[in-house]
Every structure is written in structure tokens, then in C-alpha cells.
Amino acid sequence: MADMGDFRRVADDVRNWGRWGDDDELGTLNFITAEKIAQAASLVTAGKVFALGVDFGSSGPQGAFHYRQNPVHVMTIDGGDEKTLREFGPKWLSNPSAVQLSGYSEAGPMRFNDDMIIMPLQAATQWDALSHVYYEDRLYNGFPASSVTSLGAYYLGIDKVDVKGITSRGVLLDLVTLRGVETYCADVEQPITPAELDEAARAQGVEVQPGDIVLVRTGWWARFLENGDGAEPGAGLDWTCASWLHDHEVAAVAADNLMVENPVSGVDGTILPMHMLCLRDMGMMFGEYWDLTALAEDCAADGRYEFQLVAPPLSVTGGVGSPINPIAIK
């Protein structure tokens, strides 16, 4: 097993600090050029759309981590209020909402419903911002970890990347099909290797190019829909895939599982080494809990594993992540 010495050698090799300037907060999204965006748009020929976001509801995958909960969705105005508002609203002077809403009702037939959602930004389909992960007091590009406070991330917040869309050419690498397993890559003792990423690309007849957003299908999300167990582990990317992503100048990586990388660390002395290498050293964002099942079926059917990917985050001021509903378009 690799140790922290091996980890540090790889970290030195893949670190992109200063590559796009000392004040850069975009990291590998810089690989997405205007030409790249135009190339991605040219892949839209059939008018097929695949929404890759999962449901944001109470039966989501959270629970395994005590510090994250499933989204709580609450109605704040609904049709059930109507009768009460008619009867008491106009006279309920200590409740300005009731007075206001009953005034709206009296003005004519128009009615409306409102709601809100309370959730960790990491609860379901999401981007991890570069401020999500740090070690040894430094974030990507050397920004101090202390710059993330209860007010949010001063540097590298998710709001900083809206200039990139985020959109590019997406490439799906289907490890379920490559491994020939029935539904998902279950064995965490067999993390997905760089050689397998190459093999999947070769078998699918697609080339991973600079500026691509790579989507890795492990089958985990489909498995979760079957058994509802958000804590069930499944194989993810081996930590050595960080170098593969670096060498291919990939813009971002996303997967259908909870952490992109393998849950069993391949480095003695740390958990989540690939998070550390990608988010903190390379400046590469992670997408997690993406539903790739329908897209994979279509790619297998038409033999096209490349598409336009449109995955803008919410511009949450100082957020260290964002919920998303990414769209793949062919």
C-alpha cells in the first residue's frame, strides 16, 4: 500500500498552483476554452436530453454521515390556508402575513403556493467547490484554509465559478459495462484504476481530451434506488486516478456515487487522498450523486459516449458546494 511519502510525490507532481496565476480561483475549469464550448455544442445532433440530477427529497441517500441530512421540503403557503384566510385573515391584525394573503384572495381569483427547502448543499447531486477540501492549512492555489469561516468561503467559493457556466464536452466512462458486473461495482477492495479508465475509453471508442468533464458510472446510484441504503459502499476511483485526470487535462470529474473516489483509502496515513489531490492540489471540482443510468443506456444504444454537458451551480455566496441538475444533451 502507498504511504504519505508516495502521496506527497504525486501531490508535488499534479499541483497546479500558480499555473493560471496566483489569484486563480477556477483551477482546471481553465481548460474549458471558447473552442471547447463550441465543440461541445456541435455534439448536439439528435435533440436528446438527459437530466442527471437525482430527487431532492426526504428519501435521499443521507444518513450514513451524521453531519448531513436529506433535504427537508416545507410548504409555506398552500391551498389548505385558503379557508382560514377567508375566515380570519382580514381581522388577524397581529399576523401581517394572514392580513396580506387574505387581501390578495379578496382581490380576485388568483391564488398561489410557496415552499422552501432546508438541506446541506452536499446532500444530493452536487458540485464540490474547491473550498470544500484542504490539508495542512492550505486550499487550492495556496489560499489559507482560515479564509473559510462561518461567513462562507472568501476564496474559491462556488459563486466564483459561474463565469464558466459550467459547460463543456462530457465523456461518460461506463465501468459497470467494462467490468461486466450485473448492476454495480461493489467490491471496494477493487478500486477503479487508471488502466481501466483507458480501457473503458478504448472499448467505447471515445478519447478523453483537454477540457472534458469526465463522468464515471459505477452503478452505485442505481443500486441505491434498489435498496435505499445510502451507506452501502461501492468501488470508486483509485487515488492514482488523480494523475490520470491531471495528465489528460480534464476540467472536472463526476460520478454516480457519494464520493467519486474509492471509500477505502489507498494511502496509509490519510482518508480521501484523491479529494486532497484533486480539489486542493490540482484545483479540480468533484461532482457527486449524479444519476448516469439513462445516459449510459443511451450511449450503449447509439455508441456515442460524448455529449454537451451543462451543469451550472447555484451562485451561493461563499458556498463550498452547490446542488445541481446537470443536463447531458446529444
Using CB under 6 A, list all residues that contact ligand UVW.
Answer: 122, 128, 258-259, 275, 286, 288
| Integer angstrom CA distances of residue 3 from 6, 198, 279, 282, 314 | 5, 25, 20, 20, 37
Phi, then psi, of 310 in degrees rounded to 5: -125, 115
Q: CB of 204 within 8 A of CB of 305?
A: yes
Using the minimum distance from each CB to ligand UVW, give the nearer residue, 67 or 112.
67
Using the minimum distance from each CB to ligand UVW, give the nearer residue, 24 or 288.
288
Using the minimum distance from each CB to ligand UVW, give the nearer residue, 128 or 196.
128
| Cell numbers placing 102 | 387574505
| Cell numbers placing 16 | 497546479
Shortest distance in whole angstroms from residue 144 CB to ligand UVW: 19
What count of other Cβ atoms lies within 10 Å of the Cβ of residue 101?
A: 20
Listing DSSP states for 30-44 in one string gives GG--HHHHHHHHTT-
Q: Which residue from 264, 143, 234, 328 is spatially nearest to 132, judged by alpha carbons?
A: 143
Shortest distance in whole angstroms from residue 28 CB to ligand UVW: 16
Shortest distance in whole angstroms from residue 258 CB to ligand UVW: 6
d(CA 270, CA 7): 9
* Element containing residue 273 per DSSP (H, E): helix 273-275
| Amino acid letter, residue 111 | R
How far, in whole angstroms, is CA 283 from its chain's centroid?
A: 15
| Cell numbers placing 167 | 459547460
Query: Where are any strands of DSSP class E within the chain?
Result: 2-3, 49-51, 72-77, 114-118, 126-128, 148-149, 152-153, 167-174, 213-217, 252-255, 267-268, 285-288, 306-310, 321-323, 327-329
Using the minimum distance from each CB to ligand UVW, give the nearer residue, 41 or 271.
271
Shortest distance in whole angstroms from residue 133 CB to ligand UVW: 7
Shortest distance in whole angstroms from residue 198 CB to ligand UVW: 25
Using the minimum distance from each CB to ligand UVW, give the nearer residue, 25 or 288.
288
d(CA 313, CA 206): 27
Using the minimum distance from each CB to ligand UVW, give the nearer residue, 129 or 329.
129
Q: Which residue is nearest to ligand UVW (CB)?
A: 259
Shortest distance in whole angstroms from residue 261 CB to ligand UVW: 8
Shortest distance in whole angstroms from residue 278 CB to ligand UVW: 10
Shortest distance in whole angstroms from residue 124 CB to ligand UVW: 11
Using the minimum distance from each CB to ligand UVW, give the nearer residue, 119 or 178.
119
Using the minimum distance from each CB to ligand UVW, give the nearer residue, 206 or 282.
282
